[in-house]
Amino acid sequence: MANQKIIIAIDGFSSCGKSTLAKAMAKNLEYVFIDTGAMYRAVALFFLRAGIDFGNTSDIAAALNKITLQFKYNPATLQSDMYLNEENVEQEIREMRVSQKVSEVAAIALVRDFAVAQQQAMGKSKGIVMDGRDIGTVVFPKAELKIFVTASPDIRVQRRFLELSAKNPAITVEEIAENLQHRDLIDTTREHSPLKQAEDALVLDNSNMSREAQLTIALQWAQERISQANNK
């Protein structure tokens, strides 16, 4: 079948550049980019606003029934923004108060089930690039291409600091490092869908790599898998 599309799953730790790579791949391949991290951040924002107790299962279930998540294209940025109940929250979900809680919220089984169901529905037609923590292991275990992105801790802290300090000049490198360590611990040790490398994932360590260089490698992998899908 000509022009057979595939699912590209990109996993890895926070601040490894997963979303940057995923967006660039999607643009180049004319695929749909789905930022699963934004979905969990939007849920965390709703919980914070509503004062939800992260340990109260019934409150969490009731809150999830009140949440509608959508990605809507923003012509000003040429990217998709996250909408929470028809409100554009793309900027607010990137704030530190959400970053400090998102891993805790994402570790809740009810929340992951809620998000994974939506993510799987988004991928039914294929032709997507989705990044997160459990895309290649849980959401799309049969994805044609799985990439596990990694970078050294110091590089990750530096990247995150450059991103957040532009919006919040008062933030410190120490705060960023502590936040990333905390998120890594929760992401890798949570009971439900922990962050781990899929056995058949290709590893991309971009610690000392430009965006252009890692994109070139990832696109080569993608074209190989697309060719294989078309030759079946």
Question: Where does residue 96 rank: exposed (0-12), middle (13-18), buried (19+ CB within 10 A)?
Answer: middle
pLDDT digits (tens, 9 = 90+) for 105-143: 999 999 999 999 999 998 888 999 999 999 999 999 999
pLDDT digits (tens, 9 = 90+) for 15-54: 899 999 999 999 999 898 999 999 999 999 999 999 999 9
Question: Pseudo-torsion of CA 211, 209, 174, 91, nearest 10°?
Answer: 10
Per-residue pLDDT at 80: 84
Per-residue pLDDT at 104: 95
At 45 the three-state DSSP class reads helix
Per-residue pLDDT at 51: 97
Q: Could you tell me the pTM of the whole model?
A: 0.84
Domain assignment present for residue 232? The answer is no
CA dist., res. 24 & res. 43, Å (int)? 25
Residue 1 has pLDDT above 60, yes or no: no
**Domain range for 95:** 7-225
Region 204-230: mean pLDDT is: 96
Per-residue pLDDT at 2: 55
* Strand positions, DSSP E, the chain: 7-12, 32-35, 69-74, 79-84, 87-88, 128-132, 145-150, 202-205
Top-ranked range on mean pLDDT: pick from 121-130, 148-157, 185-194? 148-157
Domain assignment present for residue 102? The answer is yes
Closest CA to 115 of 97, 139, 143: 139
More confident residue, 146 or 162: 146
Domain assignment present for residue 169? The answer is yes
Number of domains in the chain: 1
Domain assignment present for residue 15? The answer is yes
Could you tell me the CATH number of the domain that includes residue 106?
A: 3.40.50.300
Domain assignment present for residue 187? The answer is yes
Domain assignment present for residue 1? The answer is no
**Which residue type sits at 176?**
I
pLDDT digits (tens, 9 = 90+) for 54-113: 999 999 999 999 999 998 888 888 788 999 999 999 999 999 999 999 999 999 999 999
